[in-house]
Amino acid sequence: MKLLDMLGNGVEITNGKKKMVFNNETIFMPVYRINLDLLYYNDQNDRISTWLNKFEIEGNKLPELKSDEYNSIIEEFIEQSNPIALNKTKKNIDLVGQNEPGVVLNDGRIIDGNRRYTCLRKLQKEHPKKTRYFESVILEKDIESSSKEIKLLELFLQHGKEERVDYSPIDKLVGLYKDVIKNKLITIEEYANTTNSTINEIKKKVNEAILMVEFLEYINADEEFYIARELNLDGPLQELQGILRNVPEDKEYDIKTAVFNILAVGSTGDTTRTIRRIKNIAKYPKYLEQFIEEQKNVGIKILDTIGEDSGRKALDKISMQSELAYEVKKSLNKADESANLEKAKNVPLSLIEKVEEYLMQIDLNIVKQLSEENRAAFCLELKKAKENMDRIWSEIDVQR
């Protein structure tokens, strides 16, 4: 049964309107009050992508669409994705009602408003005597024949607005990977236009998504995206992108191996900052080469440790080998300290080059026009500079 065929039987039209944009055309659509039992969660919602991913990898299967058991499982995913935000929204709805209408398909699938729907379901259970309704626009479309149009609409509603959206960065990344790279449902340009982003921003995110997939493959956890969320890989992957932009192309694979080793063994501190140290090492080819060779050996040991295992089990095996984490840390520290010493050696040269640069910037015509007082002060500072130059010459004992 379609929702629009159930007017007066669990579905009521209201006086409200919701502003919607379709194919760059703005229209105002009527808002309906819909019985909660007539609706069901969208299993293709990016917000729950990594939670559903873990659920299925663990050998579970979602019950029949629209069933209460199906809704209960997805409801748990929604709550786990951000319990603090959910509780805040729930309190607000209980106090003042649902402010923002959602968007549902005619068969009851929720395209926008999953968290609001979750809050209403929970409030209904807490106060069963008070009937709750979900206020929403109803689209006369279905997910099969209008998948691209519906995905673009979903992206616009959930990511294209100026207000901050509380999606996990990794869940966003997984959605981008599936829609743009794997399934080729939409293009980079379409994704950028719909989410109010630049093409360059989305290209960076696409590269980040590819790195995420490569890391999961590295630990024998192909497309086990929940691991990327649990490891909070968004920051580290962004850092890795920055490093790769500044190293020779023939070193990219080796740099990725080094970073993937760090991610695999785990970090006791800020993983993003740990990876950032490789930027410093990369400035000095001699130390970078040594670091890379050591990391290649670590990579072989990691792969040997994983063996035939995969996913979380593989990571657990790696974490049990404390010597791997020690070896990665020792290699990184040694290379970083060597790079810092090399940098310190070059500081005097850098400073004297700056002195020369500043002296060349002095306009003698302006000096000649200084007041007597300012000219005397200038000459005093120039004398001090000469004395310091003479002192340095005498200290280094070099023929002029």
The pLDDT value recorded for residue 160 is: 52
In this structure, the dihedral spanned by the alpha carbons of residues 80, 83, 89 and 93, taken in order and rounded to 10 degrees, is 80
Residue indicated by tokens 């063996």: 307
Q: Which residues, in sequence order, are CB contacts of 151 under 8 Å at separation 6+?
A: 44, 179, 185, 186
Residues of the chain above pLDDT 70, percent: 95
Residue indicated by tokens 């703005």: 26
Question: What are the backbone dihedrals phi and psi of residue 227, each rounded to the nearest 5 degrees, phi first?
Answer: -65, -40
Alpha-helical runs (H) found in the chain: 49-57, 68-81, 83-96, 114-126, 147-159, 169-176, 188-194, 199-218, 225-230, 234-244, 252-265, 271-282, 285-306, 311-320, 322-360, 364-368, 372-396
Residue indicated by tokens 């080469």: 289
- pLDDT range class, residue 164, cuts 50, 70, 90: very low
Q: Which helix (H) or strand (E) holds 44?
A: none
8 Å CB contact between 311 and 348: no
- Mean local confidence (pLDDT), 226-255: 92
Q: Which residues, in sequence order, are CB contacts of 313 under 8 Å at separation 6+?
A: none
Q: Which residues, in sequence order, are CB contacts of 309 under 8 Å at separation 6+?
A: 220, 317
The pLDDT value recorded for residue 36 is: 95
Tokens of 188: 């980079």
- Mean local confidence (pLDDT), 312-321: 89
Q: Is the pLDDT of residue 19 over 70?
A: yes
Q: Which helix (H) or strand (E) holds 31?
A: strand 25-35
Q: Taking the CB of residue 259, how many other CB atoms lie within 10 A of it?
A: 24
As a whole number of angstroms, the distance between CA 8 and CA 255 comes to 63
Q: Is the pLDDT of residue 72 over 80?
A: yes
Residues of the chain above pLDDT 90, percent: 59
- Mean local confidence (pLDDT), 248-274: 89
- Mean local confidence (pLDDT), 78-99: 91
Taking the model in full, what pTM does it have? 0.79
The pLDDT value recorded for residue 310 is: 85
The angle formed by the CA atoms of residues 166, 232 and 246, to the nearest 5 degrees, is: 110
How many residues are listed for the chain in this entry?
A: 400
Question: What are the backbone dihedrals phi and psi of residue 137, each rounded to the nearest 5 degrees, phi first?
Answer: -75, 145
As a whole number of angstroms, the distance between CA 318 and CA 321 comes to 5
The pLDDT value recorded for residue 367 is: 87
- pLDDT range class, residue 17, cuts 50, 70, 90: very high
Q: Which residues, in sequence order, are CB contacts of 94 under 8 Å at separation 6+?
A: 119, 123
Q: Which residues on neighbouring strands pair with residue 20, listed in sequence order?
A: 27
As a whole number of angstroms, the distance between CA 296 and CA 303 comes to 11
- Mean local confidence (pLDDT), 362-377: 89
Pairing of strands 25-35, 133-139: antiparallel
Going 98 to 100 to 104 to 109, the CA torsion angle's sign is negative
Q: Taking the CB of residue 364, how many other CB atoms lie within 10 A of it?
A: 7
The pLDDT value recorded for residue 400 is: 52
The pLDDT tens digits for 213-222 are 999 999 999 9
The pLDDT value recorded for residue 163 is: 44
8 Å CB contact between 67 and 74: no
The pLDDT value recorded for residue 152 is: 82
Question: Using only C-alpha atoms, what is the Rg of the chain?
Answer: 30
- pLDDT range class, residue 268, cuts 50, 70, 90: low
Alpha-carbon distance values, 135 to 12, 63, 112, 347 (Å) = 9, 26, 11, 65
The pLDDT tens digits for 167-181 are 788 999 999 999 999
